[in-house]
């Protein structure tokens, strides 16, 4: 989002022009803003991971099977994917301070409703409300930092707030397990309420106000077509697992989703400012990054949920121990960020992504050898190694999207990449849980059925991931391996 000269700026309390504060440290000059954006990153990362560990307990409380809880996970992520493209226009039209305040408030209300939900449909609606708020938290936070922090300090500032996001992903599974085992699963949502209230106070004090005098027209038609197609496609996958005897409904949703998607393609070519500019897909690296994201995450997007169900339902582990076992994955992902730049410079995107996607597939297949008798330390080691490879995969795919895109289209490319990422995560969760449900069959309450189904599911996902590696063959062998600086902190 690159505002024209008509951008209006209402400075934060300090009143300094951000462009004039290049000599000051971002921590000293904009400490309150950094804390606010970091808290938003932390809250969203925490909420994205804390729920997984609580799935079995939530399923028991709501009277459904653990696999039946997938709609509570996918609805949140899908809402993020659908609404993220609207964030730039909302900021231009209403201003960053009001949009960020609304995002925090809606996220907090959604969290409160999640904690009060008595049935699965109520929880799904509350998760959608959460997603409506969460969709603007990170995009607006990034945009404000770009506008406020001097260029030479931006990477440092963005790395600081991104660290809090990583911290949230590390603490989320463990905190979720502890809260479920020793208190109530409802607290995993209710803890967002006081954090949200503090965020509203900080937003009023520290958030700068950027807006346009006259924002361009929003592509409402394109937005509705894209949202409807995505929702129908996910509904088809949900119905395929939850109500296998309703195949006409599954087929109808699928066909309608494809038709609406085709209609969006037609519409996007005839509008000046489409919500997603498909013309950018002519850039080979961007198209490979987006398609690779979709098919790779189809294989690995649901692994987190599968592993929690395998450990808790199949092996009888406590929520705390299962949550603790998820921590090595986050630590592995963090560890990989220390070496990814060097690997890209040495191998280039094509060789790294080909080799790493294959390695991820091998790691998925390795989990088919794990059972209740496997030593805890060995499972932790496998999870850590898996986290290292997936961390390399995510960073490689995310930064690839920006390597050849003109700076004028960087904002649109970022929006498309974020949307594709969350969309593919939601379909990855749906696909993995659907496979698991098929292989569990009618023995939904038998521990051994979950163990056997987990083994077969990860093998199928390994094959899907291995096939996804072929997508990266479309990259040139001599494609440069240096990720753009602006993208490296967003992965």
The whole-number average pLDDT for the span 236-244 is 63
Cross-strand partners of 209: 10
Q: Is the pTM above the cut of 0.75?
A: yes
Residue 405 binned pLDDT confidence (cut-offs 50, 70, 90): confident
Q: pLDDT tens digits, residue range 436-448?
A: 888 887 776 778 8
- % of residues, the chain, pLDDT over 70: 86
DSSP structure string for 389-455: HHHHHHHHHHHHTTTTS-GGGHHHHHHHHHHHHHHHHHHHHHHHHHHHHHHHTT-TT-HHHHHHHHH
Q: Provide, rounded to the nearest whole percent, the portion of the chain with pLDDT above 90.
A: 21
Which of the four pLDDT bands, split at 50, 70 and 90, describes residue 399?
A: confident
pLDDT in tens, 424-435: 888 888 889 888
Range 311-327 average pLDDT: 88
Distance CA 190, CA 183 (A): 12
476 against 184, higher pLDDT:
184
The mean of the pLDDT values for the chain is 82
Please state, in angstroms and rounded to a whole number, the distance separating the CA atoms of residues 370 and 248: 38
On the question of pLDDT at 487 being above 70, the answer is no
Q: 161 pLDDT exceeds 80?
A: no
| Spatial distance between the Cα atoms of 70 and 429, rounded to a whole number of angstroms | 7
């Amino acid at each position: 989002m690159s505002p024209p000269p008509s951008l209006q700026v209402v400075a934060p309390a300090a009143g300094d022009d951000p462009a004039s504060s290049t000599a000051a440290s971002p921590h000293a000059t904009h400490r309150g803003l950094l804390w606010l954006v970091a808290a938003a990153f932390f809250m969203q990362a925490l909420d994205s991971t804390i729920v997984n560990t609580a799935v079995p307990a939530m399923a028991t409380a709501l009277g459904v099977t653990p696999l039946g809880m997938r709609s509570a996970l996918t609805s949140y992520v899908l809402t993020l994917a659908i609404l993220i493209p609207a964030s730039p226009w909302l900021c231009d039209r209403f201003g960053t301070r009001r949009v960020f305040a609304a995002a925090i408030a809606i996220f907090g209300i959604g969290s409160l409703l999640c904690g009060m939900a008595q049935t699965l449909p109520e929880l799904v609606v509350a998760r959608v409300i959460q997603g409506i708020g969460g969709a603007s938290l990170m995009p607006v936070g990034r945009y404000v930092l770009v506008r406020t922090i001097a260029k030479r300090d931006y990477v440092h500032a963005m790395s600081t707030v991104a660290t809090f996001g990583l911290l949230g992903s590390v603490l989320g599974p463990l905190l979720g397990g502890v809260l479920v085992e020793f208190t109530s699963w409802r607290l995993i949502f209710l803890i967002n309420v006081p954090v949200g209230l503090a965020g509203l106070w900080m937003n009023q004090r520290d958030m700068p106000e950027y807006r346009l005098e006259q924002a361009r027209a929003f592509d409402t038609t394109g937005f509705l077509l894209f949202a409807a197609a995505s929702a129908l496609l996910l509904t088809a996958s949900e119905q395929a697992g939850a109500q296998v005897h309703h195949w006409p409904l599954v087929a109808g949703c699928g066909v309608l989703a494809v038709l609406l998607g085709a209609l969006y393609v037609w519409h996007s070519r005839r509008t000046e400012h489409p919500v997603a500019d498909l013309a950018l897909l002519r850039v080979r690296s961007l198209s490979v990054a987006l398609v690779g994201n979709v098919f790779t995450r189809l294989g690995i997007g649901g692994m987190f949920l599968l592993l929690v169900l395998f450990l808790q339902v199949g092996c009888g582990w406590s929520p705390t121990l299962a949550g603790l076992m998820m921590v090595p994955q986050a630590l592995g992902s963090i560890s990989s960020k220390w070496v990814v730049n060097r690997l890209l410079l040495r191998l280039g995107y094509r060789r790294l992504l080909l080799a790493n996607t294959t390695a991820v597939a091998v790691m998925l297949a390795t989990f088919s050898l794990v059972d209740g008798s496997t030593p805890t330390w060995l499972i932790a080691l496998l999870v850590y190694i898996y986290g290292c490879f997936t961390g390399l995969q995510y960073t490689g795919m995310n930064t690839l999207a920006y390597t050849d895109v003109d700076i004028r289209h960087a904002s649109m490319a970022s929006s498309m990449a974020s949307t594709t990422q969350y969309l593919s995560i939601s379909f990855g969760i749906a696909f993995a849980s659907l496979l698991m449900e098929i292989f569990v069959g009618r023995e939904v309450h038998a521990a051994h059925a979950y163990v056997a189904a987990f083994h077969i599911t990860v093998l199928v996902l390994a094959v899907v991931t291995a096939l996804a590696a072929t997508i990266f063959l479309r990259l040139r062998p001599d494609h440069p391996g240096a990720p753009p600086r602006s993208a490296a902190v967003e992965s």
